[in-house]
A = this chain, B = another copy of it.
Amino acid sequence: MTGGTLYGLGVGPGDPELITLKARRILQSVPVIAYPAPEQGDSLARAIASPHIPGGRIEIAIRTPMTPGNFPANEVYDRYAAEIGVHLSDGRDVAVLCEGDPFLYGSFMYIFARLAGVYSVEVVPGVSSLGAVAAVAGRPLVSRNQVLTVLPAPLDEQELERRLADTDAAAIMKVGRHLRKVKRVLGRLGLDEGAKYVERASMTGEKVLPLAEAPDGGAPYFSMILVRRADEVPGEVES
């Protein structure tokens, strides 16, 4: 393969100090930086990485309008992949910034799918929101031979209930407007009491709350709920 290298750079969960040495080194050396961004407004990934981005870089905001199913359209990624591909073909390395870890629900995978195999690609793992949420909640995720289920909150209520009823521990991601539904399910299962609600882990405005105190009205998209059967957790302390 010729041309530049495409980097998928995990920039960590929010605190700019939770970036890895490797991601920072690459950030400081590549001429082109791309990052996911809403249709209008600022990119969270770029904000996390900003203390480490030198001036004078070419920047590409990957702005993705949401389709009714809440996923950006393929054509949008086709267009951005082509734009990034031009830089790679010209021999310029491109770093795509990813909140958390690139391969855990990251939108980088849509760029990756279009360019891997054509250009040289390296994925640099980052601290995921899972680890960050557990850390700020003071709550181990799983130990020993326990099973951890990572569940997106948009799943339908029956599926959430079935899966939560059958796991040692769960991390419920992308809570956002699904908070009430998740509360109902956890209440029915008797798992609500020990559950923790976390938003903006490791960032300004971080909140860690017992689930009962979580704001029914407006949880942000990047909020998470940690659930566990307390009696199955060695090493747990009440804090």
Instruction: Give A residues with C-beta under 8 Å from B.
Output: 8, 10, 12-13, 15-22, 24-25, 71, 101-106, 109-110, 112-114, 116-117, 121, 123-128, 130-132, 134-136, 138-152, 154-155, 163, 167, 202, 234-239
Q: Is A239's CB under 8 angstroms from B116's CB?
A: yes
Shortest A66–chain B CB gap in Å is: 12
* Contacting residue for A140 out of B20, B109, B130, CB 8 A: B109
Of B16, B132, B138, the contact of A116 (CB 8 Å cutoff): B138
Q: When A18-B22, A22-B15 are in contact, do A125 and B131 touch as well, CB less than 8 Å? A: yes
Query: Which chain B residues lie closer than 8 Å to A106 at the CB level?
Result: 140, 143
List the number of copies, as a whole number.
2
The reply to whether A125 and B13 form a contact with Cβ atoms under 8 Å apart is yes
- With both beta carbons as reference points, the residue of chain B lying nearest to A136 in the complex is identified as B123
B134 adjacent to A103 (CB under 8 Å): yes
Q: With A21-B21, A109-B140 in contact, is A103–B117 under 8 Å at CB?
A: no
| Across-interface contacts of A21 in B (CB, < 8 A) | 16-21, 24
For A147, the closest partner residue in chain B by CB is B151
Determine whether the beta carbon of A104 is less than 8 Å from that of B131.
Answer: yes
| A103 partner, pick from B102, B139, B144, B202, beta carbons under 8 A | B139
Chain B residues within 8 Å of A235, by CB:
109-110, 112-113
Q: A110-B234, A125-B135, A126-B127 are in contact. Are A142 and B105 (CB under 8 A)?
A: yes
Q: Bound complex: CA of A136 vs CA of B121, how far in Å?
A: 10
